[in-house]
């Protein structure tokens, strides 16, 4: 008997015993697909939140300060932070107004998902919030000082108001006040409906023109790293305690990294839980396979007895069973992977609105585990019975 | 010393569960020689050890003690590959319970020994059909065992045993499960094979069937108590 014949015999056995083959495949398909989909979606969620924080800008420190006398501390804080260049990369007030921006007849009031926020920022607003210029120039220190009526548009706003024509140099009105567009930021969040790009920045010193009469109380400080963010919190807290002595106002300083850290912790726990569930589905699939194989072991032992009695050698019988198990399991594994990939893409789109693909390592692991299990249990009768005397195997009934 | 007989069994014992409380001496010191082209009937009461002996003769089981030479070769020294070759080419075994593979059609069941022999394609089909024709079942070749009567299944089993043209046919109560008419048909087939030169060893508890053999071997309690030509045996 050669390999081709063993192969034919194995295929014949698979098609002759459809129920057995399909049930075995099903065990593998369910195990593999479930693991791939669940693990991928969690991995996708992890990636989504990581990307979200990266877009937002990492290592940010939020400063809130309310001196009771309404004193403007912006310049003091700005100058203090300049001196902390080892820890602090930038600082900006973070106030905003929500008024329409108009260009000719187009108004942001008519945007599908609502108009933009217009931030009252310093020259370091873009640095602090992870925006980069696509065109023109950014807000400058001079603009802030001179209260220049200039505006830098986020990509979503620029696209809405100007389409394909050139925004830089054009005049827009913000709440009826005229501003000159000096620059446009690159899109960093183009796919979502409530895009981070639906924004604009003007020098904070123009706040009064936009009806913002009180001084800025909310600031974002961009630290140079994770450790540095914690350091900056301590130092800025110390600075504020001098600037606003006890009883003359409130202030608090906190690192935004804590949200990210909480999120990371949460997704890590999610990964563990889902990993556990995935492991259980793999196991259940595996037990299903074992079950089918063990239930048919008597029947198969009898068949092996017949095959031996009419001249099947141990080698040819093991070969047949090996090929049979491998073919069934690999087909099951393949179908499981296909369903797993499709399921992952669909689940990713539905839950995260994101195109996710399962990792290769995890796929190989899930397929490897169930295929190995299937082959071991598929071969079990052959290993057990092919060494018996034919009559001993025939006695199995 | 190399035996020149086709089958040479010397002081063979088969003891099941040896050393345990439920020990059974199915064969006790059995010696038996059978020549080529003989037609031997092994008779005896149920439980006397006939099947046990036949399984050993057909290389489907091994004796606990004693030697069995088949065609001059000591069976206990053969490898699995050699044994499967003998089961495949030298001995055609017919079981009382048919032992067909249920998922395969009659033709596929008959083809199986040929496949293990390495005969493929149209030649295999031809040989299998020829065997089925001999037992008068060629037109039923695409039926599964479950779609056939007992007599038909037994004839498929015979076709399978003769498909490789083995020189020895061993049949363990081949008519036991059949009515007398189909039983007679099966017996005719065996006699036809014998006429063509095949050695036939047949187990039966039916005296009428035994009476058609050339030689009668009677077993009782695991021992041969009579071994003589048919004419001398009292049936
Ligand atoms: N696998 C076995 N284990 C234990 N005892 C067995 C086994 N096979 C047969 N026997 C016993 O051996 C004796 C001979 O059995 P067997 O050769 O089948 O008899 P026969 O075919 O003449 O009816 C019986 O007593 C039977 O119970
Ligand atoms: Mg018997």
Instruction: Give tens-digit pLDDT for A277-321.
Output: 888 887 888 888 788 878 888 888 999 999 999 999 999 999 988
Residue B160: band (very low, low, confident or very high) from pLDDT cuts 50, 70, 90: very high
User: Which chain B residues contact residue A10 at CB under 8 A?
Assistant: none
Q: In what order do the strands lie in the sheet with A218-223?
A: A88-93, A218-223, A60-67, A249-255
Is there an atom of ligand 1 within 6 Å of B124 CB? no
pLDDT of B2: 55
By residue range, what is the domain housing residue B215? Answer: 37-61+89-232
Q: Where are the beta strands (DSSP E) in chain B?
A: 7-16, 24-34, 39-44, 65-70, 73-74, 91-94, 168-172, 199-203, 215-220, 223-229
Hey, what are B17's tokens? Answer: 């569960």
The tens digit of pLDDT for each residue in B87-97 reads: 999 999 999 88
Task: List the structure tokens of B143.
Answer: 């039926």
Tell me whether residues A311 and B81 touch, CB distance under 8 A: no
- The more confidently predicted of residues B105 and A352 is B105
Interface test with B, best of A11, A19, A310 (most B CBs within 10 A): A310
What share of chain A in percent tops pLDDT 90?
34
Instruction: Considering every ligand atom shown, identify the ligand nearest to the alpha carbon of residue B173 and give its number.
Output: 2
Closest by CA position to B115, among listed B100, B105, B128? B128
Q: Cα distance from B117 to chain A (closest Cα, Å)?
A: 7
Closest of A36, A4, A54 to residue A337, by C-alpha? A36
**Worst-scoring range by mean pLDDT, A135-144, B16-25, B181-190?**
B181-190
Mean pLDDT calculated for residue range A42-64: 85
**Closest C-alpha to A279, from A1, A35, A44, A56:** A35
Rounded average pLDDT over B91-119: 94
Q: How far apart are CA A296 and CA A321, in angstroms?
A: 13
Distance, CA of B144 to chain centre: 23
Distance A16 CA to ligand 2 centre (A): 31
Q: SS3 letters for A209-224? A: HHCCCCCCCEEEEEEC
Residue B48 maps to which CATH number? 3.40.50.300
- A360 and chain B in contact, CB less than 8 A: no
Higher-confidence position of B1 and A195: A195
Closest CA to B104 of B144, B162, B47, B154: B144
CA angle A18, A24, A29 (to 5 degrees): 115
Residue A385 · residue A301 · CB < 8 Å: yes
**Ligand 1: which residue has its CA nearest to atom 11?**
B26
Query: When comparing pLDDT for A79 and A153, which is higher?
Result: A153
List beta partners, residue B220. B223
Atom of ligand 1 nearest to the CA of B203: 21
Assess B61–A contact: CB distance below 8 Å, yes or no.
yes
* Side-chain-side CA neighbours of residue A252 (13 Å): 3
Indicate whether B5 belongs to any domain. Answer: no
* B84 in any annotated domain: no
- How far, in Å, CA of A74 to CA of A80, rounded? 10
- For ligand 1, the distance from its centroid to the CA atom of residue B194, given in whole angstroms, is 28
Partners of A130 in the β-ladder? none
Decide: B218 in ligand 1 pocket, CB within 6 A. Answer: no
For B60, which of A1, A2, A389 is closest by C-beta distance? A389
Nearest-atom index, ligand 1, CA of B53: 17
Q: How confident is the model at residue A138 (pLDDT cuts 50, 70, 90)?
A: very high
Cβ pair A217, A65 in contact under 8 A: yes
Q: Rank A25-29, A375-379, B189-193 by mean pLDDT and report only the highest.
A: B189-193
pLDDT over 60 (residue A24): yes
User: Does the CA dihedral B107-B108-B114-B118 come out positive or negative?
Assistant: positive
Q: What tokens does B228 get?
A: 């003589």
User: What single DSSP character describes residue A176?
Assistant: T
CA B202, B207, B212 angle in degrees (round to 5)? 60
Query: What percent of chain A shows pLDDT beyond 70?
Result: 100
Q: How many CA atoms lie within 13 A of A234 on its CB side?
A: 5
Asked whether the ipTM of the predicted complex exceeds the cut of 0.85, the reply is yes
Identify whether B66 is part of a domain. Answer: no
Span B169-174, mean pLDDT?
A: 95
Nearest neighbour of A309 by CB, restricted to B81, B99, B104: B99
Q: Measure Cα distances from A148 to A61, A391, B219 in Å.
A: 27, 101, 121
pLDDT beyond 80 at B206: yes
A-contacting residues of B 104-163, CB under 8 Å? 104, 108, 112-113, 115-118, 120, 160
- A312/B116 touch (CB, cutoff 8 Å), yes or no: yes
| B87 interaction partners in chain A (CB closer than 8 Å) | 308-311, 390
Structure tokens at A275: 């990993």
Number of domains observed in the structure of chain B: 1
* Range with top average pLDDT, A10-14, A179-183, A227-231: A179-183
Cβ-proximal residues to A383 (8 Å cutoff; 6+ apart), any chain: A318
């Amino acid at each position: 008997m050669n390999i081709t014949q063993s192969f034919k015999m194995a295929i014949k056995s698979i098609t002759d015993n459809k129920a057995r083959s399909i049930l075995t495949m099903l065990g593998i398909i369910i195990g593999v697909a479930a693991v791939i989909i669940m693990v991928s979606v969690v991995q996708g969620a992890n990636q989504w939140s990581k990307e979200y924080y990266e877009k937002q800008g990492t290592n940010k420190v939020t400063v809130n300060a309310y001196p009771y006398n309404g004193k403007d501390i912006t310049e003091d804080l700005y100058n203090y932070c300049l001196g902390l260049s080892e820890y602090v990369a930038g600082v900006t007030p973070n106030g905003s107004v929500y008024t329409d921006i108009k260009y000719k007849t187009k108004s942001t009031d008519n945007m599908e998902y609502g108009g933009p926020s217009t931030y009252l920022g310093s020259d370091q607003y873009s640095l602090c919030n992870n925006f980069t210029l696509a065109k023109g120039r950014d807000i400058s220190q001079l603009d802030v000082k001179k209260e220049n009526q200039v505006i830098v548009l986020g990509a979503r706003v620029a696209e809405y108001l100007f389409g394909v024509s050139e925004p830089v140099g054009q005049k827009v009105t913000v709440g009826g006040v005229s501003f000159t567009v000096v620059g446009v930021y690159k899109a960093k969040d183009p796919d979502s409906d409530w895009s981070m790009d639906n924004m604009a920045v003007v020098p904070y010193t123009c706040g009064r023109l936009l009806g913002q009469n009180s001084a800025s109380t909310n600031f974002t400080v961009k630290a140079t790293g994770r450790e540095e963010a914690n350091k900056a919190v301590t130092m800025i807290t110390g600075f504020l305690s001098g600037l606003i002595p006890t009883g003359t106002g409130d202030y608090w300083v906190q690192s935004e990294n804590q949200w990210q850290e909480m999120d990371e912790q949460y997704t890590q726990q999610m990964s563990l839980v889902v990993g556990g569930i995935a492991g259980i589905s793999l196991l259940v699939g595996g037990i299903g396979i074992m079950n089918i194989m063990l239930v048919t072991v008597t029947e198969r032992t009898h068949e092996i007895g017949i095959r031996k009695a009419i001249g099947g050698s141990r080698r040819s019988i093991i070969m047949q069973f090996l090929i049979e198990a491998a073919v069934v399991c690999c087909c099951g594994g393949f179908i499981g992977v296909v369903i797993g990939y499709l399921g992952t893409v669909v689940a990713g789109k539905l839950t995260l609105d994101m195109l996710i693909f399962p990792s290769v390592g995890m796929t190989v692991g899930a397929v490897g585990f169930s295929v190995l299990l299937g082959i071991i249990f598929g071969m079990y009768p052959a290993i057990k019975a092919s060494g018996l005397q034919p009559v001993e195997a025939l006695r199995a009934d | 010393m190399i035996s020149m007989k086709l089958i040479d069994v010397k002081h063979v014992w088969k003891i099941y569960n040896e050393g345990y409380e439920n020990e059974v001496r199915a064969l006790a010191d059995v010696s038996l020689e059978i020549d080529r082209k003989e037609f031997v009937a092994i008779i005896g009461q149920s439980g006397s050890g006939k099947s046990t002996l036949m399984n050993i003769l057909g290389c489907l089981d091994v004796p606990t003690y004693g030697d069995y030479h088949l065609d001059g070769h000591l069976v206990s020294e053969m490898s699995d590959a050699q044994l499967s070759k003998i089961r495949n080419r030298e001995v055609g075994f017919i079981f009382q319970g048919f032992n067909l593979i249920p998922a395969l059609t009659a033709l596929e069941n008959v083809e199986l020994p040929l496949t293990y022999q390495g005969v493929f394609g149209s030649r295999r089909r031809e040989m299998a059909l020829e065997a089925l024709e001999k037992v008068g079942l060629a037109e039923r070749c695409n039926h599964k065992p479950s779609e056939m009567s007992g007599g038909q299944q037994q004839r498929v089993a015979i076709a399978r045993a003769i498909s490789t043209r083995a020189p020895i046919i061993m049949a363990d109560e081949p008519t036991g499960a059949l009515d007398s008419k189909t039983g007679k048909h099966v017996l005719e087939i065996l006699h036809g094979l014998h006429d063509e030169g095949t050695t036939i060893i047949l187990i039966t508890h039916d005296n009428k069937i035994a009476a058609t053999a050339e030689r009668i071997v009677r077993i009782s309690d695991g021992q041969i108590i009579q071994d003589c030509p048919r004419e001398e045996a009292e049936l």
